[in-house]
Amino acid sequence: MDKVADEKTMCAIDARVVSCTPICREHVVVEMALPGFPTSEAGQFVQLLCRSAHVAEPTGCDWPPDGFPSLSDKDLRDRQAFLRRPFSIADQWTTRDGSVHLCVMARVVGTGTRWLAQLQPGDTLNLTGPLGRGFRIPPPDVPLVLLGGGVGIPPLIYLTRRLSELGRRDVTVIIGARTRELLPVRLIDKPDEDGRPCACVKYPGGGRFDTIVASDDGSVGMRGLVTDALRAWHERRPSRNQNAVVCACGPAGMLKAAAVLTRELGLACQLCIERNMGCGLGTCLSCVVRARDDKQPQGWRWALACSDGPVFERDDLLDYGPDVGV
């Protein structure tokens, strides 16, 4: 049975789909309404059951004595996402009537995300969450840079809502994608081609933040990588930006580049990583990652991306994702 948990713990619950809309060529935004949901941190995630919760009984099974069984039920024949799939919370807010709205932004890459992309308003979506550890927001006098690449942008969008609520102003958002059509944000103005911060993105809750947009091919904003934009931003005001904290999320290669650059610039950095996740709850051990641990003779231990992360301090992580080590 569904359980709505108290404010702090996680829950498994049916959500009603409010809308499912494309935001760029590969991403859809799924907005859901729930009767209640614990308060989450930006960087935490939900595990979505990307198939109907209804399990079909095999009524149309034909099994000839000298052959193989053949199933005629559509539900049993079609490829389905058996395990839940992890998605960062891209937004969460409570409406006046007390219902909680959650958004995820899904890049359509396979069976589960294709199922998500065909959802219609009124459909039911079962989820568990909030899971994992999110970004640690530093004290108010510390400037923040949110650094997001492609599929890593959703948790940073949610972080902007939390920062707006806290009244934080000294925040720069640097986001990028390979090309304009793959950038999952709503632009309200033309981004500066020289990589100068401007208020060009529509953030949830009406937040306005200095934003730099970068694209590999120059089709939107400055041509280059988000790490090029971070270096340029730092060079513009090195002494003022020196104690900034960078919160980064994106593909493994981008996270490694962010780790190397922030170390070189002397900036603190938190990294939100992705791993294949079977359970999201710390039980299946499918999401292990090497984390620094000076108390161990070998200097590291296995950590779990789902429960020790997905957000880690840069210096605690010894690998960033498949095939991308320190």
| Contact set for ligand FAD, span 248-277 (CB under 6 A) | 274-277
CB of 165 within 8 A of CB of 155? no
- Report if residue 92 touches ligand FAD, rule: CB under 6 A: no
- How far apart CA 94 and CA 202 sit, in angstroms, is 19
| Contact set for ligand FES, span 261-300 (CB under 6 A) | 277-280, 282-287
> Binding partner of residue 113 among ligand FAD, ligand FES, none, CB under 5 to 8 Å per kind?
ligand FAD
- Report if residue 302 touches ligand FES, rule: CB under 6 A: no
Query: How many of the chain's residues bind ligand FES (CB under 6 A)?
Result: 12
Among 13, 30, 31, 85, binds ligand FAD (CB under 6 A): 85
> Binding partner of residue 111 among ligand FES, ligand FAD, none, CB under 5 to 8 Å per kind?
ligand FAD
Binding mask 143-162 for ligand FAD (x = CB under 6 A): --------x--x--------
Q: How many angstroms from the chain centroid is the CA of residue 113?
A: 14
> Binding partner of residue 283 among ligand FAD, ligand FES, none, CB under 5 to 8 Å per kind?
ligand FES
CB of 147 within 8 A of CB of 265? no
> Binding partner of residue 304 among ligand FES, ligand FAD, none, CB under 5 to 8 Å per kind?
ligand FES
Burial (CB count <10 Å: 0-12, 13-18, 19+), residue 36: middle
Strand partners, 124: 16
CB of 141 within 8 A of CB of 246? no
| Contact set for ligand FES, span 111-170 (CB under 6 A) | none
Give which of 240, 218, 105, 272 is closest to 229, Cα–Cα. 218
CB of 321 to ligand FES, least distance (A): 15
CB of 33 within 8 A of CB of 100? yes
- Report if residue 109 touches ligand FAD, rule: CB under 6 A: yes
Peptide bond into 121 cis (omega under 30): no
Dihedral of alpha carbons 223, 224, 227, 233, sign? negative
Interface positions with ligand FES (CB under 6 A):
277-280, 282-287, 304, 306
